[in-house]
Structure formats: C-alpha cells, structure tokens
Amino acid sequence: MPALTLSHVTKVFGHDTNEVTVLKDVNFEAATGEVSLVIGPSGSGKSTFLTIAGGIQTPTAGEVQVQSENLHRLNGKARDALRLNKIGFILQAYNLVPYLTVQDQFTLVDRVKPQGNLSAAALTALLTQLGILELIHQFPGELSGGQTQRVAIARALYQNPEIILADEPTAALDSERVKVVGGLLRDLAKQHHKAIVVVTHDLRLKEFADKTYAIMDGRMTLA
C-alpha cells in the first residue's frame, strides 16, 4: 500500500473572472522505500501540490490519503497529530526560529513532539553528515543560505517521520552538497524505509530518484 496517495486532486484559487486552476486532476503515489521527484518550473503548481500532499492546504476536489487515512475526513486535531507524527516538511522558507541557536531548534522539536525523535547519537551523525555539527551554537542570522538550508533539512529529519516532503531542498547548495543531500535522502528511503517526495527544478537530483514526475501548468505526468 502506498504511503501517500493523491487521487484526482484539483486546486482552484479565486472566483469568477479571477479564478485560477493551479492543479488539474493530479494522481500521484509515493511508496515507502522510494524517492519520488516532481520536476517543474516556477509557477507550475509544485509547491501547491506539496502543501496539499502534506495536509496544509485542502484540495478543491479529489482526495489525499496518508497510509490509507483520508486527510480531509479527519478533524483538525487528528489531522495535526498525523502531520506531526508521520510527515516531515523541508520548506523553502526554512522556518527556523531566529532567536534560537541551531541546537535549540531541535530542543524545540522535543517540546512539541516529545517521543519518536532521533537519539542524540543519531542527531550528531546527521549533523556531521550534513557538515553543520560545528554550527550548533550559532543563530540562523549567522548562517549562510546553504547552511540554513542544511539545518532546516536536519530539523525535519530529526522528527524521524515516515513521509518526508521537501520543497527545493537543494536550491542554495553547490554540486557537492547536492550529492550529500541526495545521497542522504536516498539512504533514508532505502535503509530506513521512508517515503520521500521532492519538488524541485534541480535536475541534479534525478540520479537519486526512483521515480520522476513532471508537472507543468498544473498537470502531472510520469517522466
């Protein structure tokens, strides 16, 4: 059974003459143990697809299922709990708390989600793999764009989610760091049985994907 399924999902913004259809009858499946790449240019509907897949937005039509549970048949509290415990987000905005050090970003996760996070040893190994262990006492404002992106990736993975949804996770990274992040995502899928979905325009990630989809003008096809 797929970890994540979108069935006939359409998303419309606005009304009447201002109506814009951003997603058009999208069907998608992400399996545990696989990296699924969704490639498309800016404005193609990638970010809307990802936020609907993660239950942040609701579709105008269609269904989203996470491990056989229909997201939008759950009440708000149950949907929030499912997102917290099963879905990790790596977003372009990073969403790091500016007045917390890198170390304290993970402490905050512990307060929100006290159980099921990575062990201290596993977190240290992750930070080392991403090349940011030496940054744990710095604040987000002291980091470069690439460093901030890697901290955001580590924070999402720290929650040890079963499904990881990533929005342009390598946009600020050079080619060597892309290989590190791509290899990390592939290893998480294969060795730790995660379902990983990456939306991007970065073709450097294709070598790490099991399936590649293309999205253009709101329509998705298997590439």
Name the pTM for this structure. 0.91
Task: Report the length, in residues, of the chain.
Answer: 223
> Per-residue confidence at 93, pLDDT binned at 50, 70, 90?
low
Can you give the residue range of the structural domain that contains 133? 2-222
Q: What is the pLDDT of residue 16?
A: 79
How many domains does the chain fold into? 1
Whichever domain contains 127, its CATH number is 3.40.50.300
Q: Where are the alpha helices (DSSP H) in the chain?
A: 46-53, 76-86, 102-112, 120-129, 145-158, 175-192
Residue 159 tokens, joined: 């929650």
Closest CA to 167 of 94, 96, 86, 66: 94
Q: Determine whether 191 is exposed, middle or buried from the number of CB atoms within 10 Å of its CB (0-12, 13-18, 19+).
A: exposed
Distance CA 34, CA 173 (A): 23
User: Using one digit for the tens of pLDDT, what is the confidence trace for 37-56?
Assistant: 999 988 899 999 999 999 98
3-state helix, strand, coil split of the chain in percent (to 5) is 40, 25, 35
